[in-house]
């Protein structure tokens, strides 16, 4: 195993087979593309010490396993609050856009509050599997450990996940890149519908970040709620071994296959 993407220069990347999603070998799981967009957002120069506080990835279409181009820019400069954007394209087609608020950092360590209790450590979790009809690719490129529930059994679930491969060949992924490589899995981890009979596809991913995760393991504590009109929401608390680091949500299209 090597990486999800090989760099081609000038913002261009070649996806590897490790990006392939569980539904089709020709379309990527959106964890790696989300992380690639965050990588580009992190490259936007900052005049002051600051950090991404919220990132929304709008999924405009499937990301094929063909050459991708990523571009990012500063949309709205500011002394304390800035708006950034990034775009992911396959040829002439834009497949995803990301927007992010970047905030100037300060010392709030004395008033830290409200985070979920730390999860049991990854070392105490059991290896986790997934439904046999799901395809490998991304799933095989990540290591999965179950804390509560599982991807095989329906309902809410809590798992630890870490990358077996780099995001970009020759690079060590940043903490936020690791976070976003996992965050788009909330709907899959917490599904309770038979994926052979139902679609539960997310049209976006929004993550609010309280702090950057430490270490390789990302904890995903996820649940899915479905309404009566074919619309659902998957919500996730994202952890590192020290506790909660972020909160994620995905809008879901739910309909019979």
CATH number at 250 reads 2.40.160.210
Q: Are 255 and 134 in contact (CB under 8 A)?
A: no
Asked if pLDDT for residue 151 goes beyond 80, the answer is: no
Confidence tier at 131 by pLDDT (50, 70, 90): confident
Q: In degrees rounded to 5, what are phi and psi of residue 10? A: 55, 40
Rounded Cα distance between 166 and 50, Å, is 25
117 inside domain: no
Full-model pTM: 0.95
111 inside domain: no
Query: Domain range holding 10?
Result: 3-104+126-256
Bridge partner list, 223: 235
| Locus of tokens 């070392």 | 123
Rounded Cα distance between 142 and 182, Å, is 9
110 inside domain: no
121 inside domain: no
113 inside domain: no
Q: Which two tokens stand for residue 139?
A: 């799933």
Average confidence (pLDDT) over 77-88: 97
pLDDT at 237: 98
169 inside domain: yes
Q: Are 69 and 89 in contact (CB under 8 A)?
A: yes
Rounded Cα distance between 69 and 87, Å, is 8
Asked if pLDDT for residue 6 goes beyond 90, the answer is: yes
206 inside domain: yes
234: left (phi over 0), alpha (psi -120 to 50) or beta: beta
Asked if pLDDT for residue 250 goes beyond 80, the answer is: yes
Rounded Cα distance between 184 and 90, Å, is 20
Asked if pLDDT for residue 133 goes beyond 80, the answer is: no
> Domain tally for the chain?
1
218 inside domain: yes
Average confidence (pLDDT) over 170-177: 97
pLDDT at 197: 86
Asked if pLDDT for residue 1 goes beyond 70, the answer is: no
């Amino acid at each position: 195993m090597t990486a999800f993407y090989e760099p081609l220069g000038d913002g261009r990347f070649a996806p590897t087979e490790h990006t392939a999603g569980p539904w089709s070998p020709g379309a990527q799981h959106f964890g790696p593309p989300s992380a690639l967009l965050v990588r580009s957002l992190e490259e936007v120069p900052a005049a002051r010490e600051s950090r991404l506080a919220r990132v929304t990835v709008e999924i405009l279409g499937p990301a094929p396993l063909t050459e991708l181009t990523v571009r990012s820019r500063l949309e709205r400069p500011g002394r304390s609050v800035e708006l950034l954007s990034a775009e992911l394209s396959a040829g002439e087609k834009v497949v995803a856009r990301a927007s992010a608020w970047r905030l100037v950092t300060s010392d709030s360590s004395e008033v830290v509050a409200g985070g979920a209790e730390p999860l049991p450590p990854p070392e105490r979790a059991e290896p986790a599997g997934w439904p046999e009809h799901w395809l490998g690719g991304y799933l095989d490129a990540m290591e999965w450990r179950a804390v509560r529930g599982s991807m095989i059994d329906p309902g809410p679930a809590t798992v630890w996940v870490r990358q077996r491969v780099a995001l970009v060949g020759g690079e060590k992924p940043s903490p936020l890149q690791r976070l976003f490589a996992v965050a788009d899995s909330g709907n899959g981890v917490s599904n309770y519908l038979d994926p052979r009979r139902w679609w539960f596809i997310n049209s976006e991913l929004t993550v609010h970040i309280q702090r950057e995760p430490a270490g390789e393991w990302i904890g995903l504590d996820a649940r899915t709620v479905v309404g009566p009109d074919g619309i659902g929401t998957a919500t996730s608390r994202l952890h590192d071994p020290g506790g909660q680091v972020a909160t994620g949500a995905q809008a879901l299209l739910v309909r019979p296959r």
